[in-house]
Amino acid sequence: MSTPTRSDRKYDFKHIEAKWQERWEKERLFHAPPLPQHDNKFYMLVMFAYPSGDIHMGHFRNYIIGDAVARRQMMLGKAVLHPFGWDAFGLPAERAAIQRNIHPSEWTDNNIEVSRSTLQKVGISFDWSREVITCHPDYYKWTQWMFVQLFKHGKAFRKRGVINWCPEDKTVLANEQVKEGRCERCGTLVEKKDQMGWYFRITDYADRLTDDLDSLPGWPENVKTMQKEWIGRSYGLEVDFQIEGTGEKLAIFTTRPDTIFGVTFMAISPEAEILGKLPLTPEFAAKVREYQKQAAGRSDIERAAATLEKDGVFTGRYAVNPFNGERVQLWVADYVLAGYGTGAVMAVPAHDSRDFAFAKRYGIPIKVVIHPDANTPLDVNKMTEAFTDHGPMVNSGQFDGKAGESAIDAVSSFAESKGFGRRKVNFKLKDWSISRQRYWGAPIPIIHCSNCGEQAVPEDQLPVLLPKVENYMPKGRSPLADVPEFLNTICPKCGGPAERDPDTMDTFVCSSWYFLRYLDAQNESAPFDKEAGKRWMPIDLYVGGITHATGHLIYFRFFTKFLKDIGWIDFDEPAKKLFNHGMVMDAHGEVMSKSKGNVVSPIALMESRGTDITRLAMFFTAPSEKEVLWSSDSLTGVEKFVLNRMYPIIKEYRGSRPDLKRYFKQAELDENERSIYVKLNQTIKRVSEAYDRLQLNAAIAAVMELTRDFDSARIKDAGLNDQIVLKSIQMIAPMAPHLAEELWETAGFKESIFKSDWPEFDPSAVIGDMIEIAVQVNGKLRDSIQVPAGSDQASVEAAAAASPKVQAFVTGKEILKRVYVAGRLLNIVVKG
């Protein structure tokens, strides 16, 4: 299959790839300088990997995209930082340890070895001297340092609260790790539990995390939208309702103050704290308790099912609407979320679909206070669903007639002036729960002292080393809790006996700052050098999968903002540009998985067809942001291109060692030469733009066209001929680096092609001396005419008028006007 016919040399990719990988390594070609010039650097980051031991098509695609960009930036003369590392803490290592009776670190380190050497075979231009491994103490020392900084600034705190509990993994999960009520990792239904744990106050950053998205034009809209929705900022009014016959107030949050005269009941979440403070008669208290039990037994999914019939129980108590003094029933209902707002809502059945369903079920009155518009009243008896749009207020006292924003404004201001309400901003985003009751993670650097409370481990005592343990079997509490040598310590403040926190940190903490450690990975006295941060940051391009849109990609922005606030860095946003590559599916559009047996290994392909051909095939099959349905057909076209055109092209090289910066004068070239010279420059332009937009499929297509049109036999000028050969090789180099290096060397260059200058196009040669003008009559194409470049409108019109095809549509008709687009098109508009 790989036997070329036109080439008299076999394309011995195995030899070529090994040779160049070795040479790159020896020459330290990819080692980034410690402190680049800020205006001439490029930080190319790909999401680091969990070391599972194999590199699959998804990794392959991710890293070759980053590689193509990094290598091209090298050719553009930038100081390039292109590092890699391993997100090495996490559950699979514990699993494997339990199954095979080896230590998680051993399993992890072995996998890293295997994966690293695979990546080296892919020829990715990583600077391995900056590799980070998050489970090694020299890294997690600084993860703990980050925790301590957060703690010292009040951004890390411990509280008891309802948490997501995965019964399979036996650990707490952050909200971001729960998808559709299930553990993102193992798919088990998540349970609610009331438990003590550590949190990061990411909610303090909610406004900035939302607002600053607008300063990121280089981020895809869909990711920004997803983050905004996840953070879920909403503006509204908090109103106090007195609970009749008690001194208690019930505060509620609403985004629709304009419906407040339509409140006909109130609803409290069964988990809301206020419920405990309500004096209930024994009869009602028992009913409420029973309902609470029932609600607690329902999974999140059951409770969230939108179609689920709302249910609840009456508390026997009444609340008073401060706007009109009306007395309404106070219910407990589990469609109200405990964790949002105040855990209680004012219910306006006429204008909220959930309240509507509830009111219908329990026969609670429905009161219309908004009309669709002034002339279209709503009839309560005919309503089959709530009317939730905006419209003029009715039955609302002095507010009648106000509508929309101004209505909300008027009601809010009134409440504020009377002192029973205040404007408020609420977020869906919750504080980030980071305690994990598992072994294989970074220990939380906190000491609990019965006298002094929670004390951060002094920075000079970091890292808190993860001890060896006998048993990683998950029991629902951290394995470290059973290691007295670890647990027992002394209080750093009073010196008395104290205990370490037994929990470890969510691995997303480790990955929230790894991009900074790359700047200065060996630093033993600081997480990274501030000057290196100034020079290298922000990340110029961050490439990874879309799956991290509302997890990692929010967390690392949060860390960045925190570190800026405490003076470690001087920028607000970590990454200027974000690119999400598409997934790699099998030929039928199914996700590749071991259980389906449809996994295609990039390694096998690289071995049978060559790494560069495999890389080109991945680039060429689909644009990088779209999903790829991978089949072996993907290889056919690019393989022919490499074997029949690209690899043999070097035979056409005449050894002229041309000045690659020289531009030719079109007048000095003959017709064949001129046309290929124009093609060359058009190609350089197209390819450069394609790389800039990461349209690597289009970049390959353009080079294919050039090499197809290139016919050395028809070119007299050796310098021109050789420019075409060499620039074609340069243009393909970032995508097929081994092949390009080999050809470049064959042409006589001693230095790596990645030290050569990326070709620039001759602006005077992107259009030829004769150009084609489309001639339309009434917008329909009738002919294409050749005119000298630079012709004015009059001469183009004259040439068009001479065309018989055009004449056929114009003769005898009145010409109304002519639209001329210079160098492209002439449209003759005729009557009739």
Query: Which of positions 238-257 make contact with RNA (CB under 7 A)?
Result: 253-256
Q: Where in 101-130 is the site for RNA (CB under 7 A)?
A: none
Distances (CA, A) of 82 to 55, 69, 117, 126, 612: 18, 10, 17, 5, 19
Q: Where in 719-778 is the site for RNA (CB under 7 A)?
A: 772, 774, 776, 778
52 contacts: CB under 8 Å, gap ≥ 6 = 92, 111, 115
By CB under 7 A, the count of residues binding RNA is 82
Q: Where in 465-504 is the site for RNA (CB under 7 A)?
A: none
From the CB of 360, what's the least distance to RNA, in Å? 13
Does 805 sit near RNA (CB under 7 A)?
yes
Q: Where in 652-711 is the site for RNA (CB under 7 A)?
A: 695, 697-698, 700-701, 704-705, 708
Which lies closer to RNA via its Cβ, residue 567 or residue 804? 804
User: Looking at 101-109, 276-284, 497-505, 616-624, which segment touches RNA (CB under 7 A)?
Assistant: 616-624
Nearest to 540 by CA among 38, 127, 28: 38
Q: Judge whether 480 and 487 are in contact, CB under 8 Å.
A: yes
Q: Which of 643, 650, 739, 796 is the binder for RNA (CB under 7 A)?
A: 643
Q: Which of 596, 626, 651, 714 is the binder for RNA (CB under 7 A)?
A: 626
Q: Which of 546, 600, 660, 747 is the binder for RNA (CB under 7 A)?
A: 546
Does 549 sit near RNA (CB under 7 A)?
yes
From the CB of 333, what's the least distance to RNA, in Å? 8
**The residue type at 186:** C
DSSP-assigned beta bridge partners for residue 807: none
Instruction: Give dist(CA 504, CA 414) in Å, integer.
Output: 49
Query: What is the DSSP secondary-structure string of 690-701?
Result: HHHTT-HHHHHH
Which lies closer to RNA via its Cβ, residue 585 or residue 660? 585
Q: Which of 559, 620, 677, 754 is the binder for RNA (CB under 7 A)?
A: 620
The site map against RNA for 147-186 (x = CB under 7 A) is: ----------------------------x---xx------
Q: Which of 66, 85, 341, 759 is the binder for RNA (CB under 7 A)?
A: 341
User: Looking at 72-80, 218-226, 372-380, 491-499, which segment touches RNA (CB under 7 A)?
Assistant: 218-226
User: Looking at 49-57, 162-170, 632-640, 657-665, which segment touches RNA (CB under 7 A)?
Assistant: 632-640
**Secondary structure class of 639 (helix, strand, coil):** helix
Outline where 201-252 has alpha helix (H).
206-211, 221-231
Q: Where in 498-537 is the site for RNA (CB under 7 A)?
A: none
Does 781 sit near RNA (CB under 7 A)?
yes
Does 6 sit near RNA (CB under 7 A)?
yes
Which lies closer to RNA via its Cβ, residue 3 or residue 99? 3
Instruction: Give dist(CA 422, CA 506) in Å, integer.
Output: 37
Which lies closer to RNA via its Cβ, residue 459 or residue 692? 692
Q: Which of 621, 666, 683, 752 is the binder for RNA (CB under 7 A)?
A: 621
Does 229 sit near RNA (CB under 7 A)?
yes
Q: Which of 234, 523, 601, 712 is the binder for RNA (CB under 7 A)?
A: 234
Nearest to 88 by CA among 71, 113, 65: 113
Burial of 754 (0-12, 13-18, 19+ CB in 10 A): buried
Nearest to 338 by CA among 203, 196, 194, 242: 194
Instruction: Give dist(CA 679, CA 699) in Å, integer.
Output: 14
Q: Judge whether 642 and 4 are in contact, CB under 8 Å.
A: no
Which lies closer to RNA via its Cβ, residue 394 or residue 701? 701
Which lies closer to RNA via its Cβ, residue 98 or residue 585? 585
Q: Judge whether 815 and 828 are in contact, CB under 8 Å.
A: yes
From the CB of 336, what's the least distance to RNA, in Å? 4
User: Looking at 64-72, 473-481, 743-751, 814-822, which segment touches RNA (CB under 7 A)?
Assistant: 814-822
Instruction: Give dist(CA 786, CA 347) in Å, integer.
Output: 74
Does 330 sit near RNA (CB under 7 A)?
no
Which lies closer to RNA via its Cβ, residue 490 or residue 587? 587
Does 304 sit near RNA (CB under 7 A)?
yes
**Token match 């033993």: residue?**
524
Neighbours of 480 (CB within 10 A): 23
Q: Which of 303, 493, 564, 657 is the binder for RNA (CB under 7 A)?
A: 303
Does 714 sit near RNA (CB under 7 A)?
no
Instruction: Give dist(CA 109, CA 133) in Å, integer.
Output: 9
Does 784 sit near RNA (CB under 7 A)?
yes
**The residue type at 815:** I
Distances (CA, A) of 72 to 65, 66, 696: 11, 10, 12
From the CB of 330, what's the least distance to RNA, in Å? 15
Instruction: Give dist(CA 622, CA 628) in Å, integer.
Output: 6
Q: Where are the beta strands (DSSP E) in 155-293?
A: 156-166, 171-173, 178-179, 182-183, 191-200, 234-243, 249-254, 265-268
From the CB of 128, what's the least distance to RNA, in Å? 33
Q: Which of 53, 232, 404, 545 is the binder for RNA (CB under 7 A)?
A: 232
From the CB of 412, what's the least distance to RNA, in Å? 12
**Token match 């249910």: residue?**
311
φ, ψ of residue 47 to 5 degrees: the values are -60, 130
From the CB of 656, what's the least distance to RNA, in Å? 26
Q: Judge whether 559 and 513 are in contact, CB under 8 Å.
A: yes
Helix 221-231 to helix 552-565 angle (10° resolution) is 80
Does 269 sit near RNA (CB under 7 A)?
yes
Query: What is the DSSP secondary-structure string of 780-817?
Result: EEEEEEEEETT--HHHHHHHHHT-HHHHHHHTTS-EEE
Does 65 sit near RNA (CB under 7 A)?
no
Which lies closer to RNA via its Cβ, residue 654 or residue 805? 805
Which lies closer to RNA via its Cβ, residue 285 or residue 825? 825
Six-digit token pair at 70? 């990094």
DSSP element (H, E) containing 356: helix 353-362
**Secondary structure class of 346 (helix, strand, coil):** strand
Which lies closer to RNA via its Cβ, residue 290 or residue 570? 290
The site map against RNA for 414-433 (x = CB under 7 A) is: ------------x-x-----
From the CB of 804, what's the least distance to RNA, in Å? 9
Which lies closer to RNA via its Cβ, residue 51 or residue 312? 312
Q: Judge whether 442 and 504 are in contact, CB under 8 Å.
A: yes
Which lies closer to RNA via its Cβ, residue 296 or residue 808? 808
Q: Which of 629, 718, 747, 801 is the binder for RNA (CB under 7 A)?
A: 629
Q: 638 — alpha (psi -120 to 50), left (phi > 0) or beta? A: alpha
Nearest to 516 by CA among 134, 792, 19, 807: 134
Which lies closer to RNA via its Cβ, residue 162 or residue 819? 819
User: Looking at 26-34, 163-171, 230-238, 509-517, which segment touches RNA (CB under 7 A)?
Assistant: 230-238
Neighbours of 783 (CB within 10 A): 19
Which lies closer to RNA via its Cβ, residue 111 or residue 177? 177
Instruction: Give dist(CA 133, CA 51) in Å, integer.
Output: 10
Which lies closer to RNA via its Cβ, residue 451 or residue 784? 784
φ, ψ of residue 290 to 5 degrees: the values are -65, -40
User: Looking at 11-19, 331-339, 506-514, 754-762, which segment touches RNA (CB under 7 A)?
Assistant: 331-339
Does 789 sit near RNA (CB under 7 A)?
no
Six-digit token pair at 647? 């690899």
User: Looking at 210-218, 471-479, 794-802, 822-830, which segment touches RNA (CB under 7 A)?
Assistant: 822-830
Which lies closer to RNA via its Cβ, residue 98 or residue 701? 701
**Which letter does DSSP use for residue 641 in this model?**
I
Does 222 sit near RNA (CB under 7 A)?
yes
